[in-house]
Amino acid sequence: MLRKLAITAAAAFVSCAVAQAADMPKPVYRAPPPVVVAAYNWSGFYIGGNVGYGTGDVSANGWGEGLSKSFNGWFAGGQLGWNWQAVGSPWVWGFEADWQGADFESDFTLANGFFNGSGFSRLNWFATARGRVGYAWDRVMFYTTGGFAWAENEIGISGLVETKSFTHTGWTIGAGLEWALVNNWTVKLEYLFLDFGSKEYFPNTINGLNINDLGFNADADIHTIKLGLNYRFGYGKDPYVAARY
């Protein structure tokens, strides 16, 4: 009798436990909250300085002769600019203007039966105003750039009282790599090719004398590589660019 009651009670307990288990709510499994990654944002104004080296050619024609001479030298100067990077986008859009003091000089000799003598051509400074388009990987950005260019060139020829200097206008194109060292400071390495238009240095009238077909025209182009350091105003991080789980 006791054995029968024990079996009946055990069966009732098991049935009750199964029923309660069936009525219990199922657990809901949720992904852990995202960990927000604060990415570097390139937006804002900046100002800085740079040093570099350049090499190129100065070409001239006139007086019955064509000349092409290579010249090279060091330069240093400053730049200022502005960048804009949308939230969540790796693309950076910007504008930069710079000015460089330079010391590029080339000597040449004229000996064509019409005029014999030596001369020089000296590039004293150059400047650019350029747009920039960059692609950023957090603190590293690769960019291309292009726009307008200006340069002051001076030419002097022995035997002539006059030494002429003119501001040439032209264009430039190039590319660079910029890296954010710390929050507000970035360093960049940049290559530019600059092509300056032609100017007539010695027209038909020299020292009050009218001489036909005496025009002397010159132009120049240079390749430059420079290292720059920028200070950025309004530095900030974008906390919504990326997230990991």
* Predicted confidence (pLDDT) at residue 180 exceeds the cutoff of 80: yes
CB-CB contact of 170 with 149 (8 Å):
yes
In a domain, 42, yes or no: yes
In 10 A of CB 49, how many CB atoms?
14
Residue 150 falls inside a structural domain: yes
Averaged pLDDT score across all residues of the chain: 80
81 inside domain: yes
216-238: per-residue pLDDT in tens?
A: 778 889 999 999 999 999 766 65
Residue 3 lies in a domain: no
Mean pLDDT over 91-111 rounds to: 89
Residue 134, token pair as written in the block: 């960059």
Asked if residue 65 is part of any domain, the answer here is yes
Task: Confirm whether 147 is domain-assigned.
Answer: yes
pTM of the complete model: 0.76
Strand segments, DSSP code E, in the chain are: 35-41, 44-62, 65-85, 91-111, 116-137, 140-157, 163-180, 185-202, 205-206, 209-210, 216-232, 236-244
Residue 12, domain member (yes or no): no
Using only C-alpha atoms, the chain has a radius of gyration, in whole angstroms, of 36
Cα 152 to Cα 126: distance, rounded to the nearest angstrom: 6
> How many independent structural domains does the chain possess?
1
pLDDT at 63: 61
Residue 82 lies in domain: 35-244
Q: Residue 30 domain-assigned?
A: no
Q: For 188-212, what is each residue's pLDDT tens digit?
A: 999 999 999 888 877 665 545 455 5
Expressed in angstroms, the distance from the first to the final Cα of the chain is: 62
Q: Are 120 and 153 in contact (CB under 8 A)?
A: no
Instruction: Of 68, 70, 109, 60, give the one whose Cα is nearest residue 214.
Output: 60
CATH code at position 103? 2.40.160.20
